[in-house]
């Protein structure tokens, strides 16, 4: 074949391809939009809420320093199992032992002063008694002034005794305080569990957390016999949750295992954030904390592991259902009659209705439907559709652009005609 003939053949092939494409496009338009069909059928549906959070023990105790002192001994390591009352940590007791000795010495001194004050009071009491007796027998032997002086001496001695007794009480309280501070230098396990956090080392100075709990935190003991997942649920979903709802939990550290649990607490107040607590700001999503108790936690689970919970809120057995993608929204145009006046305010306001496109003899007609719970891929149909009716189930773009009464046809995998023609020519 000459060069000129090849050029002519190539040009003809291009023209033929263009003509075929135009004809094919026109034929497609005549036959209607390509969509995916599906029949309304019955299936089991499960409605669920998915949320993420952290693994937490049901009970844990943060052990903080109540006094200031250098840590001289730590008897446990992170991850150790401990029993209630077991020795955990020692703060240098030297200064607190000295304070106790000083308080005890002050108490002894106060008690001795109280004994002396009591003796003085007793002596003044006896002197007052003798003076009164002599004055009664013979007023000339004891003057009125002497009687008053004896009474005054007794009153003073009585007051001194009372003050000495108060000083004894004060010194005894100081002893108790010093003894309590000395006791706080030795930290014992408040419950049985596992040491899940150890925040200090020997030689560091323990400081009471006056303004921040984390400042004085020494270690944490957790009871891992009951494990919970604390997740944050959006405000739009939390109203669907109930105590006792079943939950499937996946833990990132155990990717091949699914754990089960139950909802044991749904918070009544939202989680406060920095933005939410600032007046005039309401831009962030509102979340509520939900606690889920695992029924079969893994033996080597640890606090703060990331987890995802799938909370089952409702189930339906053999419910009439449609694909979620099939449900769309169109303007609802109610029919009006000449005898009934049209409400202009209502007419101006667009009313939208949820529904599906029902296919009959190649024509798609929009029909409003009432839906119930939503599963992972399907909606429950409560009204507006019958089992076995064919609906448009995709693609999404086709459903969005579809008009009421439009012609539709089944979506098929079109053959690449152009490639075949080029192949034949080559």
Indicate which CATH number applies to the domain containing 324. Answer: 2.40.420.20
84 or 333: whose pLDDT is higher? Answer: 84
β-pairing, 41-64 vs 33-35, is unpaired
- Is the per-residue pLDDT at 305 higher than 90? yes
Task: Tell whether 93 and 171 lie within a shared domain.
Answer: yes
Give the other-Cβ count within 10 Å of 47's Cβ.
17
The domain of 93 spans 64-198
Across the chain, mean pLDDT equals 84
Q: Is the pLDDT of residue 282 over 80?
A: no
For residues 378-407, average pLDDT: 92
Domain end: 198, 223, 240, which one? 198
Residues 243, 290: Cα–Cα separation, whole Å: 10
Average pLDDT over residues 338-365: 71
Domain finish residue from 177, 198, 219: 198
- Asked whether residue 93 is assigned to any structural domain, the reply reads yes
pLDDT tens-digit map of 18-62: 555 444 555 555 567 899 999 999 999 999 999 999 999 999 999
Ranking 65-79, 347-361, 398-412 by mean pLDDT, the lowest is: 347-361
pLDDT score, position 139: 80
Query: How many structural domains comprise the chain?
Result: 2
36 and 70 both lie in a single domain: no
For the segment 75-87, the average pLDDT, to the nearest whole number, is 94
> Residue 363 and residue 405: Cα distance in Å, rounded?
6
Same domain for 178 and 68? yes
Do 77 and 172 reside in the same domain of the chain?
yes
Mean pLDDT of 363-388: 93
Q: Looking at residues 69-95, what average pLDDT do you find? A: 94
pLDDT-based confidence at residue 208 (cuts at 50, 70, 90): confident
Percent of the chain with pLDDT over 70: 81
Mean pLDDT of 59-69: 91
User: 135 falls in which pLDDT band (50, 70, 90)?
Assistant: confident
Q: Is residue 422 predicted with pLDDT exceeding 70?
A: no
Compare 341 and 188 and report the one with higher pLDDT. 188
Query: Does residue 78 fall inside a structural domain?
Result: yes
- Has residue 293 got a pLDDT over 60? yes
- The reply to whether 38 and 136 lie within a common domain is no
Q: Are 195 and 79 in contact (CB under 8 A)?
A: yes
The backbone torsions φ and ψ at residue 117, rounded to the nearest 5 degrees and listed phi first, read: -65, -35
Do 35 and 117 fall within a single domain? no
pLDDT of amino acid 334: 53
Q: What is the pLDDT of residue 145?
A: 87
> Regarding beta strands 287-294 and 254-270, do their DSSP bridges make them parallel or antiparallel, or are they unpaired?
antiparallel
Q: Which residue has the higher pLDDT, 10 or 286?
A: 286
For residue 6, pLDDT beyond 70: no
pLDDT confidence tier of residue 283, bands split at 50, 70 and 90: low
The answer to whether residue 341 is domain-embedded is yes
State residue 295's pLDDT score: 92
Phi-psi sector, 251: left (phi>0), alpha (psi -120 to 50), beta: beta
- 0.85 exceeded by the pTM? no
In terms of domains, do 35 and 98 share one?
no
pLDDT value of position 22: 47
- Average pLDDT on 148-155 reads 91
pLDDT exceeds cutoff 50 at 124: yes
pLDDT band at 146 (very low <50, low <70, confident <90, very high): confident
Q: Is residue 87 part of a domain?
A: yes
Helix axes 94-137, 144-183, angle to 10 degrees: 160
Q: Say yes or no: 39 and 92 in one domain.
A: no
Q: Is residue 37 part of a domain?
A: yes
| Cβ contact 234:266 at 8 Å | no
At residue 336, the pLDDT reads 45
Residues 328 and 374 occupy one common structural domain: yes
- pLDDT band at 274; cut points 50, 70, 90: low
Mean pLDDT of 274-280: 53
What angle, 0 to 180 degrees and rounded to 10, lies between the N-to-C axes of helices 417-425 and 3-31? 160
290 part of a folded domain: no
Is pLDDT of 226 > 60? yes
The predicted model gives 306-329 an average pLDDT of 94
Predicted confidence (pLDDT) at residue 298 exceeds the cutoff of 50: yes
- Domain match, 68 and 194 both: yes
Of 138, 166, 198, which one is at a domain's C-terminal end? 198
Q: Are 67 and 188 in contact (CB under 8 A)?
A: no
The answer to the question of residue 185 being in a domain is yes
pLDDT of residue 140: 81
- Residue 5 within a domain: no
Whether 72 and 114 share a structural domain: yes
């Amino acid at each position: 074949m000459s060069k000129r003939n090849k050029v002519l053949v190539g040009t003809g092939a291009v023209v033929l391809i263009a003509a075929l494409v135009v004809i094919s496009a026109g034929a497609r338009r005549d036959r209607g939009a390509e969509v995916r069909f599906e029949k309304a059928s019955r299936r089991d549906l499960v409605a669920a809420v998915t949320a993420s959070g952290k693994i937490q023990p049901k009970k844990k105790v943060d052990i903080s320093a109540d006094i200031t002192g250098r840590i001289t001994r730590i008897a446990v390591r992170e991850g150790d199992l401990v029993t209630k009352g077991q020795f955990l940590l020692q703060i240098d007791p030297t200064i607190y032992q000295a304070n106790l000795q000083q308080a005890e010495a002050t108490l002894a001194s106060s008690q001795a002063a109280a004994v002396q004050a009591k003796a003085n009071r007793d002596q003044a009491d006896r002197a007052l008694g003798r003076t009164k007796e002599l004055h009664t027998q013979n007023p000339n032997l004891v003057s009125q002034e002497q009687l008053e002086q004896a009474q005054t001496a007794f009153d003073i001695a009585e007051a001194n005794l009372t003050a000495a007794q108060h000083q004894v009480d004060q010194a005894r309280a100081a002893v108790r305080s010093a003894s309590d501070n000395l006791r706080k230098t030795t930290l014992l396990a408040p419950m049985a569990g596992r040491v899940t956090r150890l925040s200090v080392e020997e030689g560091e100075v323990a400081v009471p957390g006056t303004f921040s709990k984390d400042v004085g935190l020494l270690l944490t003991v957790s009871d891992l016999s009951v494990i919970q997942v604390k997740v944050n649920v959006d405000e739009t979903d939390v109203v669907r949750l109930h105590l006792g709802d079943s939950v499937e939990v996946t833990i990132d550290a155990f990717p091949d295992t699914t754990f089960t649990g139950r909802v044991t607490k749904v918070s009544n107040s939202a989680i406060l954030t920095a933005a939410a607590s600032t007046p005039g700001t309401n831009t962030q999503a509102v979340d509520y904390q939900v606690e889920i108790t695992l029924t079969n936690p893994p033996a080597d689970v640890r606090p703060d592991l990331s987890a995802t919970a799938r909370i089952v809120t409702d189930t339906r057995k053999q419910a009439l259902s449609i694909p979620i993608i099939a449900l769309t929204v169109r303007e609802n145009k109610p029919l009006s009659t000449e005898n009934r006046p049209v409400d202009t305010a209502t007419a101006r306001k667009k009313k939208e209705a949820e529904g599906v496109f029902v296919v009959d003899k190649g024509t798609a007609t929009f029909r409003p439907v009432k839906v119930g719970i939503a599963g992972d891929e399907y909606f429950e149909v409560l009204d507006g559709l019958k089992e076995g009716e064919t609906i448009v189930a995709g693609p999404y773009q086709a459903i969005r652009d579809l008009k009421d009464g439009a012609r539709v046809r089944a979506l098929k995998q079109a053959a690449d005609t152009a490639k075949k023609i080029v192949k034949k020519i080559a």
